[in-house]
Amino acid sequence: MSTEQPPAFIEVDDRAIAFRRRAGIEPGVVWLGGYRSDMKGTKAQALDEWCVHGGRAFLRHDYSGHGESGGRFEDGTISRWLAESLAVFRAHSSGRQILVGSSMGGWIALRMVQELACAGEGARVAGLLLIAPAPDFTSELVWPKLTDAQKLDLQEKGWFSQSSEYSDDPYVYTRALFEDAANNRILHGIIDTHCPVTILQGMQDTSVPFTHAQRLMEHLPADDVTLSLVRDGDHRLSRPQDLAMMLRAAQGLVDLAG
């Protein structure tokens, strides 16, 4: 079993971003969490223990407004959380890495690949493991379900909240989040990752339907992509059998990276 470390912090645009880093062999693993989740969740902890057992490098962090990081959640946008993720990645990892993105973290991971490629750093990504990935979730999954009252709140107040089955606190969505997300859309053309991609998706997921993962695959035609559908799996994919599948997928990407 791994021993929990206290977080370290990096300043990104005057925000204290909490992270935990373990040194180890390459390729390392980088965890990217979901909307309103943190780096101490079940899947992140399972990966940490797996990396400890194998002597593998592992890096995880909390976006601003999440977990142990500073900043207000309501100020968060995809661009902001992407910039924080890139800053942590560049400052506290080296060599080739496998990005593991859960839900919104899958969107962040795919955008990181794009930004790193543009900066000439694309070779640093050895593989992608996407768990119930939610790229473009604001426009594709949330917006179509909004009520007229919620849309009015966005227009007049700049935000609305709704209850969530994953948290005791309501989820808050801001107009800034929707507007910024439009600049980060990826489901409109070919996504060149230049690395193997494994997608794990529950078919009983009520937040991100499995058809969304199938659509994502249509935008990854040039890459080695595997989609595994879990017939009785939900959005969390945190049962023991789900965690075992995630670790098998991570090992498969490590083996491909050589």
Please name which of 185, 182, 178, 184 lies closest in space to residue 76, comparing C-alpha atoms: 178
Handedness of CA 40, 159, 210, 224 (dihedral sign): negative
Is residue 2 pLDDT above 70, yes or no? no
| Three-state secondary structure call for residue 65 | coil
Q: Residue 170 above 90 pLDDT?
A: no
Say if residues 38 and 68 touch (Cβ distance below 8 Å).
Answer: yes
Say if residue 166's pLDDT is above 70: no
Its sign, for the CA torsion 104, 97, 49, 73, is negative
Q: pTM of the prediction?
A: 0.95
- CATH superfamily ID and name for 8-136+189-257: Alpha/Beta hydrolase fold, catalytic domain (3.40.50.1820)
Ordered by start, the domain boundaries in the chain are: 8-136+189-257
Whether residue 168 is predicted with pLDDT greater than 80 in this model: the reply is no
